Copies of this chain bind each other. A is one copy, B any other.
């Protein structure tokens, strides 16, 4: 077994090295709220254990073994988030920190039973895909609202920013997962957007439009 710390590094590397790239020391340090020097030390240790591909100064990627662990952590994180929201009535902006702890509970039996208990959900409360027992998952094909043209429609299906302030903003404006929306107007001046959902029109900034993801 691996320590919590090692698991957190693997998760950060997974996210930092998404879509074929590699994760940098500074990037990992920022994600884990630690210092670059500490990251270097840990990278040596993880490379020793064959969980990452690491060459000095070159950034890192996960080995298949490392990826397997990272995906199991992500699976646990997202399943627990689903549980917290669907069964214990937490709000979607309240679950992240608790799930950060729960994701390190080691029992595979527990996660798999939890998965069944909830009916094997495919997406977590923020729209992120939940890997199955084998680590497989299918991501929605998503586009930011800022990438749509006037009159294009779609369903809100994910967020790029998971911060609770952003999630609370969406909650307040009722732009939540599952809502069907249409781009009513785009202000070329500041790239802000007016989205329509039913009768309700909401004016959102370019930044919000960038972080709100739509399935077409």
Contacts and interface: CB of A to CB of B under 8 A. Distances in A.
Nearest to A102: B105
Main secondary structure of the interface of A (DSSP, over half): helix
Contacts of A117: 87-88
Interface stretch (A13-21, A49-57, A107-115): A107-115
A94 B105 CA distance: 15
A63 interface: no
Interface in A97-123: 97-98, 101-102, 105-107, 109-110, 113-114, 117
Contact of A107 (B87, B89, B101, B106): B101
Interface string A37-69: 000000000000000000000000000000000
Nearest to A98: B107
Contacts of A109: 90, 94, 98
Nearest to A110: B98
A113 B89 contact: yes
Contacts of A159: none
A156 interface: no
Interface residues of A, number: 18
A73 interface: no
Contacts of A110: 84, 88, 98
Contacts of A94: 109
Most B-side CB within 10 Å, residue of A90, A106, A110, A113 = A110
A30 to B, nearest CB: 24
Contacts of A106: 101
Contacts of A84: 110
B98 A105 contact: yes
A81 to B, nearest CB: 12
Given A88-B110, A97-B107, A105-B105, 7 more contacts: A88-B114, A90-B113, A94-B109, A98-B105, A98-B107, A101-B105, A101-B107
The list of the 6 closest CB pairs from A to B, nearest first, reads A88-B113, A98-B107, A101-B105, A98-B110, A88-B117, A102-B105
